Structure 1
Amino acid sequence: MDFIAMDFETANRQRASACSLALVVVRGNRVVDSFYTLIDPEGPFEPQNVRIHGITAAQVIGQPTFPAVWPHIQSFFTPDQLVTAHNSPFDVSVLRRTLERYDIQVPHYQVIDTARTAKKLMPELPNHRLDTVSAALHIPLAHHHNALQDSYACARILIAQAQRFGQAALAPMLKMTA
């Protein structure tokens, strides 16, 4: 399988407040590259979000804004590209809302949600959170809510699911972004 695993962290409850982004590139079921950046969300940080991911307003001072990051990653978001995320409705909406905020055209791409695939293929789990699914598949996740660590875990989950259940089992769960 060839795909991109994506994860965002946000500064506050607003989906257009991305403060970190990670992408993990998988080709032939192997992780071949990754990208991570802090992002200046140009807005406030809420204490609850900081407690979750540990990123503070002070840490993003001098970091690029999303319009500066987009030219480096936009080639990964094309109609023939598969993107995965754990709880993809969140990450897809962060990307969409952030692009809309800056009047950047929103791309269309294929997406598959590893939380959804886990619910379908691994119903015996007590829940389908990233840390639970990772543990069930013996995938290391040392720093949950670090975008890069979460992207690596998500990529490895999809690879493991494809190997264990077959790509045909995953195919019905692919969607095209709106």
Structure 2
Amino acid sequence: MQGINFIAIDFETATGKRASICEAGICVVRNGEIVETRSWLVRPQGNSYSYWNMQIHGIRPNDTVNSPEFPEVWAEICEYLKDTPVLVAHNAAFDIGCIRHSLELYGMEKPDITYYCSLRAARRLYNFGCNSLDYLCDQFKISYGQHHRAGDDAEMCARLFLRELKDAGCGLEEMGYCNGIL
């Protein structure tokens, strides 16, 4: 998959608010190969969490009390985006919304980034009754670590999107039905 370059991204949130990011994860893909996966715990504003969100991902206020806030983590992620300004997310409406809302909360500039949604691609390519990230990974025997942890989910998303590109028999340019601009 020469020339296939993107960064899969995933966020976990502390509350129902999109700007309450408590963990960020990326998986860097260069020439169709995963070259790096990273995650950061992020201190959401006020370090407040909802019970339900903690039940989903297991991250608690004590885990993020000394973590950097979004602007510091976003600056690190942007270093990766300099070389590859293309993001992929499973249910990009959520993850891209997290970025947009967080940039707005902290008064930060929105960069020019193209994104793709592996969920939208799956709905178009496959005929499964469920298109959740873990379900699709199970169907394609894509291994994963801990679901609902940002680094692991970002890598799952990267592996799934590579499979989708292969099954679609095309490159990123032909995946216009599942992309947008940040």
TM-score (normalised: structure 1)? 0.93
Corresponding residue for residue 59 of structure 1: 63
Which is worse superposed, 21-30 or 65-74? 65-74
Q: Find out whether 1:173 has 2:177 as its counterpart.
A: yes
Q: Find out whether 1:88 has 2:97 as its counterpart.
A: no
Identical aligned pairs, as a percentage? 31
For residue 12 of structure 2, give the secondary structure of its aligned residue in structure 1.
Answer: strand
Structure 1 residue runs of 5 or longer lacking an equivalent are none
> Could you tell me how far 1:79 is from its partner in structure 2?
11
Deviation string for 1:49-106 (max 9, x for gaps)? Answer: 0000000011101111112212211144469722100000100000111111110101
Instruction: Write the distance in 1 (CA, Å) between the matches of 2:21 and 2:45.
Output: 9
Instruction: Write the distance in 2 (CA, Å) between the matches of 1:168 and 1:97.
Output: 30
Instruction: Write the distance in 2 (CA, Å) between the matches of 1:134 and 1:80.
Output: 25
Structure 2 residue runs of 5 or longer lacking an equivalent are none
Q: Find out whether 1:8 has 2:45 as its counterpart.
A: no
Q: Find out whether 1:24 has 2:3 as its counterpart.
A: no
Instruction: Write the distance in 1 (CA, Å) between the matches of 2:91 and 2:82.
Output: 20
Instruction: Write the distance in 2 (CA, Å) between the matches of 1:2 and 1:97.
Output: 26
- AA of the residue aligned to 1:161: E
- AA of the residue aligned to 2:109: Q
Instruction: Write the distance in 2 (CA, Å) between the matches of 1:166 and 1:175.
Output: 17
Deviation string for 1:113-139 (max 9, x for gaps)? Answer: 11110010012x121000111111110
Task: Report 1:125-164 matches (<5 A).
Answer: 125-164=128-167
Q: Which residue among 118, 121, 146 is the counterpart of 2:122?
A: 118
For residue 116 of structure 2, give the secondary structure of its aligned residue in structure 1.
Answer: strand
> 1:92 and 1:79, CA in 2 relative to 1: closer, same or farther beyond 3 A?
farther
What number of residue pairs does the alignment pair up? 177
Corresponding residue for residue 40 of structure 1: 43
Q: Which residue among 104, 109, 112 is the counterpart of 1:108?
A: 112
TM-score (normalised: structure 2)? 0.91
- Cα contact 1:78–1:107 (8 A) shared by 2: no
Instruction: Write the distance in 2 (CA, Å) between the matches of 1:136 and 1:20.
Output: 27
For residue 45 of structure 2, give the secondary structure of its aligned residue in structure 1.
Answer: coil
- Cα contact 1:20–1:37 (8 A) shared by 2: yes
